Chain A
Amino acid sequence: MSDPIISRGFFGRRRDAGPPGRVPPGQYVTHDFPVLSAGPTPRSPQEHWSFEVRGAVASTRRWTWAEFRALPRVEVTVDIHCVTKWSKLDTRWAGVSVDTLLSDVAPAGEYVVAFCDGGYTTNLPLSDLTGGKAWVVDTYAGEPLEAQHGGPARLLVPHLYFWKSAKWVRGLEITMSDDPGFWEAAGYHGRGDPWREQRYRGD
Chain B
Amino acid sequence: MNTLVLDVPGWPGHHAGQHVDVRLTAEDGYQAQRSYSIASAPATAHLELTVERLDDGEVSPYLTDVVRESDVFELRGPIGGYFVWLPHLRRPLALIAGGSGVVPLMAMLRHRAAVRVAAEVAPARLLYSARSADERIYNAELERLASEDEDLRVAYALTRTQPSGWTGYRRRIDRAMLQDVIWPADAAPLIYVCGPTAMVEVVATELVELGHPAPAIRTERFGPSGKP
Contacts and interface: CB of A to CB of B under 8 A. Distances in A.
Interface residues of A, number: 40
Interface of A: 4-14, 16-17, 26, 28, 30-42, 84-85, 118-119, 141, 148, 182-183, 185-187, 200
A195 B30 CA distance: 17
A7 B219 contact: no
Closest 8 CB pairs of A and B: A186-B81, A32-B224, A40-B204, A7-B24, A4-B25, A187-B81, A10-B24, A9-B66
Interface stretch (B32-40, B126-134, B140-148): B32-40
A12 B58 contact: yes
A41 B201 contact: yes
A29 to B, nearest CB: 11
Contacts of A119: 214-215
B228 A41 contact: no
Contact of A42 (B23, B66, B214, B218): B214
Main SS class of interface, A: loop
B209 to A, nearest CB: 10
8 contacts: A7-B26, A7-B71, A9-B66, A10-B66, A16-B58, A31-B228, A35-B201, A118-B214
Contacts of B222: 34
Interface residues of B, number: 46
B217 interface: yes
A12 B79 contact: no
A193 to B, nearest CB: 17
Contact of A39 (B27, B66, B71, B217): B217
B64 interface: no
